[in-house]
Structure 1
């Protein structure tokens, strides 16, 4: 879904330590309009599609904080193709992919511990302002700034001017902000003043006057019906709404109840923000189980298996309130075999963490994640083809690789810049065939993406929106042995360093005999390749080499 952007700035903050996940209010029935903002998580209402949190922030001094033009995180993968109401042609639109956990927090002074997704209050002091005045504000991807004060000038033909950050923020000011993107690697979280509160059927944007319908709803009559519901029910409610795909075919009362609930939730957040001082958490999205049920569950699912009794009870209560027709499909898993093993999930997870993925034909792809981009290489491997033409074999391998590449991108949740190195094809029509297959396969992806054509080097670049860590970064941590490099120094390199160090320390070492402690692999090389004699010649005395399996492969010491 698309939503227009406004002028309030988006801030980027340094990563924070995760704190305890706050509880969300009790979920009311659809006819109830006023939600509670406290209670057990399992009683939460369908209040937030975004996993991005809301935060009240006060402007504070932070060397690592930057200002960006706002991007409105629409917490649904569905982009809106239409607008309802007044013409907004001067306002550019921005789309966001699947978000992360949602919460609200108030900040003032020191950074508090919080969940990656939250709404906060932050204080930006003089250093922040000086940076802004030097023109260090930047734009969020896919969004541009728009401010009401510049609109008359634009309509009159004069160029629009973007106000300085000092005109929008002042020291000590408290803001309600939402975490639009959780910390990834060395990059801090991104926060925005444009709050989005997703429900089951609509997404509420209290700061943006925009009405839209999900692009995935293709029936014109249904779109017209949903438009009329939005227009009639919005009277008296500030901000805007986007109808989600789940609203297709739903009654007017169900959609209006969702709209009223989200509006009242926003009022409750505002009231809470007035009573607390920054920093403070104001709201947090549903937990992972309820988010999956709210955002993913549909009629295509045959069974919902749960292997924990407490989680099963929460699932049942959730379905009873919001999807009673799906209640018979919820089952409690009681077998002795672990549920992941029973459904072959463990094996698939292990495969998803390995760089090499085999294709059915015998070819394979290699996936390497780096800080800057993701590189995917396609190889024929053991596949020789059934044709005498090498070009046909290459094309078949590339076409088979396309399906697996798209599957791995979604399975591993790869984002950012993805560069695919297909096997070189000589004929232009074959390259076009592979590109068409790639574009067709990527259509099922719910995250915003863009595919660039083959370049002069035979590479295809895919940009995919990333709001959270990939599967590998989520389940794994850098290797403590190689410190994440993926390799260690060879034995010969370590021996060369030992000989160099011996020359430096020859005069400083005392005693008639020198003891060298090394890793067993290095000790074996010393004894078998004649390096021991060279070392004794450098030191001018006998050397006793001892192996220590607890010593790091690259470490050594003289005694």
Structure 2
């Protein structure tokens, strides 16, 4: 299986596409304006205790207070509260926990009012980003994730990923970590640690200890509701969690992002540093690798399958519903059961991909085509589980109900990826009529007068449909040359086949769109 990562960087953030055998399977958007990332640690202030919910609402600077349930406090929350109080009062000078005396674990069936008080300060970690009208979901069971291990303060437990099956390897990893972990810290050993040496594990653990020391240092002076320790960027998080020798290429379209990614890979996996490539083609990165076309064909209410069948995907506040239809697929009347089985298998493969691609979370109900043979229903259920085995989000799949429905629950930690694929015609604005095409160049020049002379912009780029680009550049004395003499500066012309024939946009020297 060939894996590729395509990172399209822009001034507003980055869009990250994961391809397997050239097929888009995951799409992530990292926006600079998104201040709440899963893994960030804030110094929260308790705003309200809700005994009926056994939960508290916490101020972490978001417009709506974040939600902290009793079960998300973590057993060592009393130790965390004690450390916070001592550090902020200046009574605890050490950055590690060697000289710290942990408190007893809280009762799993206890009440939040016995642990937290209104107005109290508590470090909390973002467990779910703000979704829809809800604020962030929090946890005070802090952990700091690395590539090979996860550091858990106030614990002595060493946990090992269940995906590491070899008892010999599990014993080796446990002994290695026991010999290097600091006092009063627990460690979770991740799947990618399998086969790694002491040096690699120790380096990763030391990096995490350094982050903990930074957290303790900042905790002393951080204002309530402010961030104390930030998770690494979305791009680096994805690389940390999924990078393996199966990756063939990582393409980046911007120099600083290229250097950042290359530097990060050099730290976590130096042998893969050479797979990072800087995109230098004139064609946009996503267009060059066919990602744009896949996005347009994959998102939306209806998703077509190769054999003529299709999926209809509906979203509600409570759940997602996916209906499988055979479409115009030719069915053998004598073997409708086999036809239904083949369509359902094809649909199951695409559904597993759609859940990852759209990052659909919560409850998903799938209405497959009815099958009468129990063996076929069992095989479809097993096939769907196998297709979802690579999904990194926690999920549970229930066997088919007597109505033929399969229910899936999937972890939701950030808003669902939603891309509108239907477009309002930029030429007519949805009215069905456009300005005369003979006036197009006049419209462009009128905007030039405003942008270049009134706004005094320099080094701008005009982006148009390829036909219009050819018209502007045709002949010996081109219209582009005329503009050069008229405005006393060279205007770059760039084409984009996704534009409508009369659509045009202007971009500044920093490649930011100039809004008119």
Category of TM-score, reference length = shorter chain: 0.5 to 0.7
> Where does 1:385-396 land on structure 2 (aligned, <5 Å)?
385-386=331-332, 388-396=334-342
Corresponding residue of 2:433:
none
Taking the aligned partners of 2:109 and 2:212, their CA distance within structure 1 comes to 28
Corresponding residue of 1:193:
140
SS in 2 for 1:222: helix
Q: Does 1:437 align with 2:386?
A: no
Taking the aligned partners of 1:63 and 1:220, their CA distance within structure 2 comes to 45
SS in 2 for 1:327: helix
Corresponding residue of 1:423:
369
Conservation of the 8 A alpha-carbon contact between 1:60 and 1:123: no
Taking the aligned partners of 2:54 and 2:252, their CA distance within structure 1 comes to 43
In structure 2, which of residues 40, 45, 48 is the aligned counterpart of residue 53 of structure 1?
Answer: 40
Corresponding residue of 1:468:
414
Task: Please give the per-residue CA displacement for 1:168-224, whole angstroms capped at 9, x wherever unaligned.
Answer: 012332111111111111222111111110011100111443211112222332221
Please identify, of 363-372 and 318-327, the stretch whose mean Cα deviation from structure 2 is larger.
Answer: 318-327
Report the alpha carbon displacement of residue 292 of structure 1 after superposing the two structures with TM. 2.6
Report the alpha carbon displacement of residue 280 of structure 1 after superposing the two structures with TM. 2.1
SS in 2 for 1:271: helix
Distance 1:219 1:111, change over 3 A: closer
In structure 1, which of residues 386, 390, 410 is the aligned counterpart of residue 356 of structure 2?
Answer: 410
Distance 1:225 1:469, change over 3 A: same
> Where does 1:286-305 land on structure 2 (aligned, <5 Å)?
286-305=232-251
Report the alpha carbon displacement of residue 425 of structure 1 after superposing the two structures with TM. 1.5
Q: Does 1:163 align with 2:110?
A: yes
SS in 2 for 1:279: coil
In structure 1, which of residues 221, 237, 260 is the aligned counterpart of residue 168 of structure 2?
Answer: 221
Distance 1:147 1:308, change over 3 A: closer
Report the alpha carbon displacement of residue 454 of structure 1 after superposing the two structures with TM. 1.7
Distance 1:169 1:454, change over 3 A: same
Taking the aligned partners of 1:169 and 1:431, their CA distance within structure 2 comes to 49
Taking the aligned partners of 2:155 and 2:423, their CA distance within structure 1 comes to 45
Conservation of the 8 A alpha-carbon contact between 1:146 and 1:162: no
> Where does 1:519-534 land on structure 2 (aligned, <5 Å)?
none
Aligned residues: 363
Q: Does 1:177 align with 2:119?
A: no
Taking the aligned partners of 1:285 and 1:123, their CA distance within structure 2 comes to 18
Taking the aligned partners of 2:207 and 2:285, their CA distance within structure 1 comes to 36
Taking the aligned partners of 1:336 and 1:300, their CA distance within structure 2 comes to 28
In structure 1, which of residues 364, 383, 389 is the aligned counterpart of residue 329 of structure 2?
Answer: 383
SS in 2 for 1:471: coil
Corresponding residue of 1:357:
303
Distance 1:270 1:144, change over 3 A: closer
Q: Does 1:332 align with 2:278?
A: yes
Taking the aligned partners of 1:405 and 1:178, their CA distance within structure 2 comes to 31
SS in 1 for 2:47: coil
Taking the aligned partners of 1:405 and 1:227, their CA distance within structure 2 comes to 38
Distance 1:161 1:201, change over 3 A: closer
Distance 1:479 1:333, change over 3 A: closer
Report the alpha carbon displacement of residue 146 of structure 1 after superposing the two structures with TM. 9.1
Q: Does 1:366 align with 2:292?
A: no
Quick check: which has more Rg, 1 or 2? 1
Taking the aligned partners of 1:203 and 1:339, their CA distance within structure 2 comes to 34
Task: Please give the per-residue CA displacement for 1:119-166, whole angstroms capped at 9, x wherever unaligned.
Answer: xxx999xxx9xxxxxxxx6756xx9979999xxxxxxxxxx7733222
Distance 1:441 1:174, change over 3 A: same
Conservation of the 8 A alpha-carbon contact between 1:424 and 1:458: yes
Task: Please give the per-residue CA displacement for 1:274-300, whole angstroms capped at 9, x wherever unaligned.
Answer: 223312211111112322322222211
Taking the aligned partners of 2:349 and 2:358, their CA distance within structure 1 comes to 14
Corresponding residue of 1:541:
none
More RCO (CA 8 Å, sep 6+): 1
Report the alpha carbon displacement of residue 316 of structure 1 after superposing the two structures with TM. 2.4
Structure 2 segments unaligned to the other structure (5+ residues): 1-11, 14-36, 80-106, 425-516
Report the alpha carbon displacement of residue 266 of structure 1 after superposing the two structures with TM. 1.4
Distance 1:309 1:386, change over 3 A: same
Q: CA RMSD in A?
A: 3.4
Report the alpha carbon displacement of residue 346 of structure 1 after superposing the two structures with TM. 0.5
Q: Does 1:238 align with 2:187?
A: no
Report the alpha carbon displacement of residue 66 of structure 1 after superposing the two structures with TM. 5.9
Corresponding residue of 1:78:
none
Report the alpha carbon displacement of residue 399 of structure 1 after superposing the two structures with TM. 1.6
Conservation of the 8 A alpha-carbon contact between 2:49 and 2:113: no
Structure 1 segments unaligned to the other structure (5+ residues): 1-19, 22-49, 70-106, 117-121, 129-136, 150-159, 481-559
Distance 1:444 1:477, change over 3 A: closer
Corresponding residue of 2:507:
none
Corresponding residue of 2:61:
112
Task: Please give the per-residue CA displacement for 1:421-471, whole angstroms capped at 9, x wherever unaligned.
Answer: 011112222222211211222222221111112223221101111111111
Conservation of the 8 A alpha-carbon contact between 1:352 and 1:412: no
Conservation of the 8 A alpha-carbon contact between 1:207 and 1:240: yes
Corresponding residue of 2:93:
none
Taking the aligned partners of 1:145 and 1:56, their CA distance within structure 2 comes to 19
Taking the aligned partners of 2:402 and 2:75, their CA distance within structure 1 comes to 35
Distance 1:55 1:146, change over 3 A: closer
SS in 1 for 2:173: helix
